Structure 1
Amino acid sequence: MRITSKGQVTIPADIRERAGLLPHTEVAFAFDGKVVSIVRAKAGKKAGRGARFVAHLRGRGDVAMSTEDIMALTRETE
Protein backbone atom coordinates (compact mmCIF):
# COMPACT_ATOMS: atom_id res chain seq x y z
CA MET A 1 0.00 0.00 0.00
CA ARG A 2 1.32 3.43 -0.89
CA ILE A 3 0.15 6.89 0.20
CA THR A 4 -0.66 9.19 -2.74
CA SER A 5 0.78 12.68 -3.17
CA LYS A 6 -2.50 13.99 -1.68
CA GLY A 7 -2.04 11.85 1.44
CA GLN A 8 -4.73 9.35 0.44
CA VAL A 9 -4.71 5.59 0.90
CA THR A 10 -7.27 2.93 0.00
CA ILE A 11 -8.54 0.77 2.86
CA PRO A 12 -8.87 -2.80 1.54
CA ALA A 13 -12.50 -3.92 1.10
CA ASP A 14 -12.25 -6.86 3.51
CA ILE A 15 -10.95 -4.59 6.29
CA ARG A 16 -13.65 -1.97 5.58
CA GLU A 17 -16.34 -4.66 5.75
CA ARG A 18 -15.03 -6.19 8.98
CA ALA A 19 -14.72 -2.75 10.59
CA GLY A 20 -18.17 -1.65 9.38
CA LEU A 21 -16.75 1.33 7.51
CA LEU A 22 -19.44 1.98 4.90
CA PRO A 23 -19.30 4.77 2.31
CA HIS A 24 -19.72 8.22 3.92
CA THR A 25 -18.77 6.91 7.38
CA GLU A 26 -17.06 9.62 9.41
CA VAL A 27 -13.69 8.48 10.76
CA ALA A 28 -11.07 9.87 13.13
CA PHE A 29 -7.32 9.31 13.29
CA ALA A 30 -5.22 8.74 16.40
CA PHE A 31 -1.43 8.72 16.70
CA ASP A 32 0.36 7.36 19.77
CA GLY A 33 3.86 8.27 18.65
CA LYS A 34 4.40 5.06 16.69
CA VAL A 35 1.08 3.78 15.38
CA VAL A 36 -1.64 5.57 13.41
CA SER A 37 -5.16 4.22 14.05
CA ILE A 38 -8.36 4.92 12.15
CA VAL A 39 -11.64 4.62 14.05
CA ARG A 40 -15.27 5.42 13.42
CA ALA A 41 -15.94 8.99 14.58
CA LYS A 42 -18.36 9.55 17.43
CA ALA A 43 -21.91 10.10 16.16
CA GLY A 44 -23.88 13.25 16.79
CA LYS A 45 -21.36 15.84 15.65
CA LYS A 46 -23.28 16.64 12.48
CA ALA A 47 -27.04 16.60 11.94
CA GLY A 48 -28.29 14.44 9.09
CA ARG A 49 -30.00 15.80 6.01
CA GLY A 50 -33.48 15.09 7.38
CA ALA A 51 -32.76 16.78 10.71
CA ARG A 52 -31.37 19.85 8.95
CA PHE A 53 -34.47 20.03 6.72
CA VAL A 54 -36.86 19.78 9.67
CA ALA A 55 -34.89 22.44 11.56
CA HIS A 56 -35.09 24.69 8.49
CA LEU A 57 -38.89 24.31 8.28
CA ARG A 58 -39.61 24.51 12.02
CA GLY A 59 -41.82 27.50 12.85
CA ARG A 60 -42.53 28.40 9.23
CA GLY A 61 -46.12 27.10 9.15
CA ASP A 62 -48.74 29.83 8.85
CA VAL A 63 -51.99 27.86 9.10
CA ALA A 64 -53.44 27.29 12.56
CA MET A 65 -55.06 23.86 12.35
CA SER A 66 -55.60 21.25 15.00
CA THR A 67 -54.39 17.70 14.55
CA GLU A 68 -57.99 16.59 14.08
CA ASP A 69 -58.49 19.16 11.28
CA ILE A 70 -55.37 17.94 9.51
CA MET A 71 -56.39 14.28 9.91
CA ALA A 72 -59.86 15.08 8.53
CA LEU A 73 -58.22 16.45 5.37
CA THR A 74 -56.30 13.19 4.85
CA ARG A 75 -59.30 10.88 5.35
CA GLU A 76 -61.47 9.76 2.49
CA THR A 77 -64.72 11.61 2.17
CA GLU A 78 -67.74 10.06 0.56
Structure 2
Amino acid sequence: MLVTEKGQVTIPKHIRDAAGVAPGSEVTFSLEGSKIVITPVGTGVKEDRRARLRAAAVKVHGSLGAEFRQMGADEIMHFIRGDDPADGAA
Protein backbone atom coordinates (compact mmCIF):
# COMPACT_ATOMS: atom_id res chain seq x y z
CA MET A 1 0.00 0.00 0.00
CA LEU A 2 1.35 3.38 -1.01
CA VAL A 3 1.28 6.47 1.21
CA THR A 4 0.43 9.67 -0.71
CA GLU A 5 2.39 12.93 -0.43
CA LYS A 6 -0.22 14.10 2.10
CA GLY A 7 0.33 10.96 4.21
CA GLN A 8 -2.97 9.38 3.16
CA VAL A 9 -3.67 5.68 2.72
CA THR A 10 -6.83 3.75 1.90
CA ILE A 11 -7.95 1.28 4.54
CA PRO A 12 -8.99 -1.89 2.70
CA LYS A 13 -12.77 -2.47 2.72
CA HIS A 14 -12.63 -5.84 4.49
CA ILE A 15 -10.65 -4.25 7.34
CA ARG A 16 -12.99 -1.22 7.54
CA ASP A 17 -16.00 -3.55 7.64
CA ALA A 18 -14.47 -5.79 10.31
CA ALA A 19 -13.54 -2.79 12.47
CA GLY A 20 -16.88 -1.01 11.97
CA VAL A 21 -15.25 2.01 10.34
CA ALA A 22 -17.75 3.74 8.04
CA PRO A 23 -17.60 7.05 6.16
CA GLY A 24 -17.69 9.81 8.77
CA SER A 25 -16.19 7.58 11.48
CA GLU A 26 -13.52 9.03 13.72
CA VAL A 27 -10.30 7.10 14.32
CA THR A 28 -7.21 7.61 16.46
CA PHE A 29 -3.62 6.74 15.62
CA SER A 30 -1.04 5.42 18.07
CA LEU A 31 2.35 3.75 18.01
CA GLU A 32 2.99 0.33 19.50
CA GLY A 33 6.72 -0.12 19.08
CA SER A 34 7.25 0.40 15.36
CA LYS A 35 3.61 -0.40 14.46
CA ILE A 36 1.02 2.25 13.64
CA VAL A 37 -2.32 1.30 15.20
CA ILE A 38 -5.61 2.79 13.98
CA THR A 39 -8.50 2.55 16.45
CA PRO A 40 -12.14 3.50 15.75
CA VAL A 41 -13.60 6.02 18.20
CA GLY A 42 -17.31 5.33 18.65
CA THR A 43 -19.66 5.43 15.68
CA GLY A 44 -19.39 7.99 12.91
CA VAL A 45 -21.86 10.86 12.84
CA LYS A 46 -22.93 10.13 9.27
CA GLU A 47 -23.59 6.47 10.02
CA ASP A 48 -25.60 7.39 13.16
CA ARG A 49 -27.70 9.76 11.06
CA ARG A 50 -28.27 7.14 8.36
CA ALA A 51 -29.32 4.57 10.97
CA ARG A 52 -31.80 7.04 12.50
CA LEU A 53 -33.19 7.91 9.05
CA ARG A 54 -33.59 4.21 8.18
CA ALA A 55 -35.43 3.58 11.47
CA ALA A 56 -37.72 6.56 10.82
CA ALA A 57 -38.40 5.37 7.27
CA VAL A 58 -39.39 1.92 8.54
CA LYS A 59 -41.83 3.51 11.02
CA VAL A 60 -43.33 5.78 8.38
CA HIS A 61 -43.62 3.01 5.80
CA GLY A 62 -45.42 0.79 8.30
CA SER A 63 -47.95 3.53 9.05
CA LEU A 64 -48.80 4.38 5.44
CA GLY A 65 -52.14 3.44 3.97
CA ALA A 66 -52.33 1.30 0.83
CA GLU A 67 -52.84 4.36 -1.40
CA PHE A 68 -49.46 5.79 -0.35
CA ARG A 69 -47.62 2.48 -0.76
CA GLN A 70 -48.60 2.49 -4.43
CA MET A 71 -47.24 6.00 -5.08
CA GLY A 72 -44.03 6.48 -7.02
CA ALA A 73 -41.04 8.42 -5.69
CA ASP A 74 -41.94 11.60 -7.62
CA GLU A 75 -45.51 11.52 -6.32
CA ILE A 76 -44.29 11.05 -2.75
CA MET A 77 -41.83 13.96 -3.07
CA HIS A 78 -44.58 16.24 -4.43
CA PHE A 79 -46.80 15.20 -1.52
CA ILE A 80 -44.06 15.85 1.05
CA ARG A 81 -43.22 19.24 -0.45
CA GLY A 82 -46.89 20.15 -0.60
CA ASP A 83 -46.81 21.08 -4.25
CA ASP A 84 -49.22 19.99 -6.92
CA PRO A 85 -47.60 18.13 -9.86
CA ALA A 86 -50.49 19.32 -12.05
CA ASP A 87 -49.22 22.92 -11.55
CA GLY A 88 -45.90 21.98 -13.17
CA ALA A 89 -44.01 22.66 -9.93
CA ALA A 90 -40.83 20.66 -9.52
| Unmatched runs of 5 consecutive residues or more in structure 2 | 44-90
Q: Secondary structure at the match of 2:25?
A: coil
Inter-partner Cα distance in structure 2 for 1:14 and 1:34: 23
Q: How far does residue 25 in structure 1 lie from its aligned partner after superposition?
A: 0.3
What are the residue-to-residue correspondences of 1:11-50 with 2, within 5 Å?
11-41=11-41
TM-score by length of 1: 0.51
CA RMSD of aligned residues (A): 2.1
Runs of 4+ in structure 1 over 2 Å off: none
Q: Which amino acid aligns with 1:6?
A: K
Indicate the structure with greater helix content.
Answer: 2
Identity of aligned residues (%): 44
Q: How far does residue 30 in structure 1 lie from its aligned partner after superposition?
A: 0.7
Larger Rg: 1
Q: How many residues align?
A: 45
